[in-house]
Chain A
Amino acid sequence: MALTGVQVFKLLPKTNCKKCGFPTCLAFAMKLAQGGADISACPDVSEEAKTTLGEASAPPIRSFAIGTGDKAPKMGAETVMFRHEKKFVNPCAIAINIKDNDDSLAAKAEEVANSEIDRVGQILRVEAISIECASGDSATYEAAVKLAAEKAPEAALILNCKDAAVVEAAVKAVADRKPLINGATDENAEAMAAIAKANSCPIIACADGLEALSALTEKIKGLGVEDIVLDSGAKSAKEIIVNNTQIRRAALKKSFKPLGYPVINNVIRDNAILEASIASVAIAKYASIIVVSSVEKWKTLALFTQRQNIYTDPQVPMQVEQKIYEIGEPTADSPLMITTNFSLTYFIVAGEIENSKVPSRLAVMDSEGLSVLTAWAAGKFTAAKIAVFIQESGIGDTLTNKELILPGQVAILSGALEDKLGDWKITVGPREANAIPTYLKGRE
């Protein structure tokens, strides 16, 4: 919980020695409380005060990454309950659960390694593999974990096994990947926390219900492990939404530290569509990791897209840079089209131009990330602005024929544009992007 200036002041030496650069301890305390100064500026402050202040200024939901490398999914650090208040920070990671005695383990791990897809300019992937100890056998488990690690070299690993002796061997085998240990229960917490601590791995705290879970995280923290992920035992969609909501509220609104950690939900169901649906409940409602049973392409595409929607910035639409993009290898005779810089618009239109196989240029005009019609209605995609953009770009000089193709939805602009761009021919293209391939081929 944030401390007030006066509370901070009570923790300072109160000598007014000015070494911190402030005239008095109180002035420094006020600045600290606002987050405008760092406690280390005071050389005389006690260790105890530092700890208290450090805890008070820690984010309400602890943030850390699972695994290693640039692709290690980050979690936690969320600050709001609703996405319209402020951007949700760290998108929910998707993990597939594979049993250690599953014959297709290697193939499934490879599926994860090949799960990358580009959507609206973002590279999306299945981030993690959870290896479940179904065999109960330490050697089998260790071999499975190694195999998964090798086949999916960039995936985060989750060791799904409650037997500390089995986990210990497996952790050692992939210690450089900093696997997430799943996990600690009330019974095995000491042993599991010791393994996590020795290998600096994060750990999942598993308990039934939030009261037991709070006690367990305190216990684990007391054992020296701080990177904790919460498993509240939620199974049904109802338990997922209720527990996840209570956890986030407790952390954000009540500064309740024992639940100030990211959350994992298992959403495995027999029916693949239902599993995707329940997964989408967890993604929308505060999970940091979801565990699924399979990662078919259609399923991950839908989940990636929903996650992307939930985690976009509500204030700033996703946008691309204003410039003239070349698609294929356009020559001086190739067509020139124009659109706005809303990411969705750009990627749909550019994708269809690519599909047409007709080398083209696409002039993307800055319209503050608005779609064609929205930008037009908001006065950001007007004849005057388009004319300035096209003229300043100098693109006309590189073309055999000065012709500009407009989106069909703004056909209304063509007259005014012709007036403003005197020597240009303005052509109205199709209304919908999916008609672009036929249209472009038809022009050739």
Chain B
Amino acid sequence: MSFVVPKESFNGKVASVDFGKDDKALTIGGDSALPFLSFEGELPNKPVVAYEIQDCPPDDWPDTVREVYKDVSGDPVTWAKYCQDEQGAKAIALRLVSTHPDRGDKSAEEASQTIKDVLAAISVPLIILGSNHIEKDSTVLVAAAEAASGNNCVIGKAQEGNYKTIVAAALAHNHKLIAMSELDINLAKQLNILITQMGFDKNKLITDPMCSALGYGLEYTYSVMERIRLAGLAQNDPTMQPPILGDVGMYVWKVKETVASEADVPEWGSLEERGIAWETLTATSLILSGANLLIMRHPSAIENVGKTIDELV
């Protein structure tokens, strides 16, 4: 019996989505094979990792990751420049945390100014994220899309409860859009359909099926991503072909394993490495299941995921 390489070929293809400007623009997606199985299809673009920053100091981030940015995180512009210039970030994700009604309730105008300032300071692509407050995001992200007009940003997240205004704004200002649903392939599909029915180009969409941290539901995210990718490739379902986002950092840097001190849980070993490993392994698992874009926090985790990706391609 001789070995024959068991290949599978697919009719479907993940959409290629580019964002950013000029020579710093990035492209994700374009896959016609399952993640990293380049022997049976095209995988033209490596997964991209964006550094997460926010518009207010990260008081709720645990020490391991807050310390890294302590000299720059007081101001989003300084923080963004630090990630780009010192850490070599290929993309930056700015989360407008302080627009949340419980976190400062800053206005859409204030958020717009922050976005303009950050955009003026960096040349790498910018991902603009709301505070995940359904009503507030529907005004903040509309203003954000306008403030970032002409920069080919990624805007998010549009959800079932607020997608209409956000989609219209992304359309008007020519941005890419993240559509987020909650860990259910059918919800993801339905939202993509609703958004494209508004005339939004499916090739400008990124799907966020909702992330979860290692040990806290990662298996759900992992399998939903795998199923979305299979539906896009094997069943050639156009509503399942946007590239996939894993918003890793915010889910990881709150679970007990990234927070609890060594004194409290000696059996868990070094807190610093534990936290970094937690973010790294969450991210690595998700690129294996289909994520094309990741948003992460700790430079060492980002570096090691980058090395893993380099080994995988």
Contact = CB atoms under 8 A, between A and B. Distances in A.
Interface stretch (A143-151, A274-282, A410-418, A419-427): A274-282
B256 A296 contact: no
B222 A83 contact: yes
Interface string A225-236: 000000000001
Nearest to A83: B223
B55 interface: no
Contacts of B223: 82-84, 314
A82 B1 contact: no
Nearest to A211: B3
A306 interface: yes
A301 interface: yes
B308 A277 contact: yes
Interface residues of B, number: 50
Contacts of B186: none
Contacts of A236: 311-312
Nearest to B1: A258
Contacts of A308: 215
Q: For the side of the interface on A, what is the size category?
A: 35 or more
B4 interface: yes
A284 B247 CA distance: 20
B288 A296 contact: no
Contacts of B313: 238
A310 B222 contact: yes
Residue of A238, A249, A257, A344 contacting most chain B CB atoms (<10 Å): A238
Interface stretch (B80-88, B152-160, B169-177, B269-277): B269-277
Interface stretch (A15-23, A57-65, A92-100, A240-248): A240-248
Given A238-B36, A273-B273, A312-B219, A285 B288 contact: yes
A245 B230 contact: no
Contacts of A254: 4, 6
Contacts of B230: 82
Interface string A250-287: 10011011110000000000011110111011001100
14 contacts: A82-B226, A84-B226, A256-B1, A276-B281, A278-B308, A278-B311, A281-B288, A284-B288, A285-B288, A298-B268, A298-B274, A301-B269, A303-B281, A306-B285
Interface of B: 1-6, 8, 36-39, 214-219, 222-223, 226-227, 230, 256-257, 264, 267-271, 273-274, 276-278, 280-281, 284-285, 288-289, 300-301, 304-305, 307-308, 311-313
Nearest 10 A/B pairs, CB to CB: A297-B269, A298-B269, A298-B274, A237-B311, A249-B6, A84-B223, A305-B215, A309-B219, A302-B277, A214-B3
Interface of A: 82-84, 117, 119-120, 210-211, 213-214, 218, 236-238, 241-242, 245-246, 249-250, 253-254, 256-259, 271-274, 276-278, 280-281, 284-285, 296-299, 301-303, 305-306, 308-310, 312, 314, 344, 348, 355, 434
